[in-house]
Amino acid sequence: MAPTPTAPEEPTGAPSGGARTPSSAPDPALVLPQVSGRHESLDGIRAMAAMMVLVFHVATETGDSLAPGVVGGLLSAFDLAVPLFFALSGVLLYRPWARAALSGVRGPRARPYLWRRAARVFPAYWLVAVVALLVYSQEEIGSPRYWWEVLSLTFVFDTDPSWVGTGPYGLGQMWSLSVEVSFYLLLPLFGLVLALWARRGGDVDARGRRLLTGLLVLAVLGLAALVPQFYPEPREYMHAWLPRAMGLFAAGMALAVLSEWAWREPGPDGPVRRLCRTIAASPGLCWLVAGGFLALNATDATGGRFIGSGDIWTSAVDSLTGIGFAFFVIAPAALAPRPTSPPLPLRRLSAWRGGRWLDTLLRHRVCQFLARISYGVFLWQFMVLYLWRDFTGQEIFTGSFWLDVVPVTLGTILLAMATHRWVEEPCRRWSRKFFRT
């Protein structure tokens, strides 16, 4: 998925709405969550998610993720990368609206935000989509409707598509990008409604509680969306629509609220600050809990191993599993203070003591490199995978995972690097000429 923009600088001095910080107290930036600038740890999680989804797709194509047993189940559980992407968008993109709602001021302007999102997402996507259509959908080239649906990312709303699976051949992963774009479009509305609801709170704590309550309602509505998906008859295509994923975005948005609330909480050390500090200091426990959700996702309790398979009950478990996994993976990074030093080398024993291992891994230069090109990795992986399997003459659900994953990963990374350098970055610089705020 497309990386998200940075937020304004963190507050300085005494947190608003509370008592002035004594001069002997530590700098708030050293103990409160990072809420601005480039968040390298969250970038690292994005890189991890991009590689997880690539592994999942290769394993599905070779049939390894469909094989019975522990290994097949764990490979199939790598589709939890999608909840990570959605929750990351929630925490990073909603943050300016959460900041404004807690402070009782007007939120960000919608037009510059939507322009930046469009300029960030569509140019690189259009490149990959055109290549995929020219290579694998030649029989549809003469159809204006087909081109429009693919280029506008509205193909997921075609209830009787001409393709098999989640999208046109070579673009099957783009259903999740369509969900992301739907969220981008509606986020200003979500932010406005939540701000109006929070405004009824008399102080920052009341506003914070109201925001979290509103996000809980969004998550419940996401579960309620399963009803029309399965009754009175199954509609598998609704799995690729935004309502089904609202709980995942809400989980990330809740982390944005907690991190901004901590900066504005009255008193020297309130419960929100203690909660943020405790979670940030407990990455091992958080990731252990996330591992439990991953293990649950590897079982039949979350339905079949194809997207959207299962009944309403297993789909509900699948949704809750995704929310839990994404929250506990992202929370210790999202609520951690801004780093004050470079990450320690992996070879040093001190890098693995306490909670330093998370910072060491996520801020490692390999993770940061993959984070920069993660959008291209997401976009190109199916094209590279299918071209490689066509070249080697493999049929679907056959072949060796290890013989496929290495060349597919290398080819995807090379194309992602090229797309980042010659499409994404130029478009980002060009888009900045229109809106400066």
- Mean pLDDT for 265-288 is 93
Quick: pLDDT tens for 307-349.
Answer: 666 789 999 999 999 999 999 999 999 999 999 888 878 777 7
- The residue among 3, 29, 7, 193 whose CA lies nearest residue 89 is 3
Q: Give me the pLDDT at residue 29, please.
A: 59
DSSP class per residue in 121-134: HHHHHHHHHHHHHH
Q: Give me the pLDDT at residue 343, please.
A: 83
Question: Is pLDDT at 356 greater than 90 in this prediction?
Answer: no
- pLDDT band, residue 10 (cuts 50/70/90): low
Rounded distance, CA 79 to CA 322, Å?
9
Question: Is pLDDT at 11 greater than 60 in this prediction?
Answer: no
Give the domain ranges of the chain: 28-431
- The residue among 226, 21, 2, 214 whose CA lies nearest residue 123 is 2
Across the chain, how many H-helices and E-strands are there? 19, 0
Rounded distance, CA 23 to CA 227, Å?
56
Quick: pLDDT tens for 187-200.
Answer: 999 999 999 999 99
Question: Is pLDDT at 353 greater than 80 in this prediction?
Answer: no
- Mean pLDDT for 39-63 is 96
- pLDDT band, residue 241 (cuts 50/70/90): very high
* pTM for the model: 0.92
Quick: pLDDT tens for 53-87.
Answer: 999 999 999 999 988 889 999 999 999 999 999 99
CB 292 within 8 A of CB 329: no
Quick: pLDDT tens for 131-151.
Answer: 999 999 989 988 999 999 999
Q: Give me the pLDDT at residue 20, please.
A: 41
Q: How many CB atoms lie within 10 A of CB 165?
A: 12
